[in-house]
Amino acid sequence: MSNLLIRDVEDAVLQRLRTKAEINGTSLQHEASLALSRGVPLTGAERKALFEKFEREHGFAKVAASGADIVRDVRDEMASVGGEHS
pLDDT beyond 80 at 84 = no
Q: Cite the DSSP H helix spans in the chain.
A: 11-24, 28-38, 44-58, 67-80
pLDDT digits (tens, 9 = 90+) for 25-76: 999 999 999 999 898 888 899 999 999 899 888 877 667 778 888 899 889 8
Do 31 and 51 share a domain, yes or no?
no
Handedness of CA 63, 65, 66, 70 (dihedral sign): negative
Cα–Cα distance for residue pair 24/5, rounded to 1 Å: 23
User: Domain range for residue 83?
Assistant: 43-86
| HSE-up (13 A, CA, CB side) for residue 34 | 12
Do 34 and 73 share a domain, yes or no?
no
Do 21 and 49 share a domain, yes or no?
no
Do 34 and 58 share a domain, yes or no?
no
- Tell me the Cα Rg of the chain: 24
Given pLDDT bands bounded at 50, 70 and 90, which one contains residue 85? low
Do 69 and 82 share a domain, yes or no?
yes
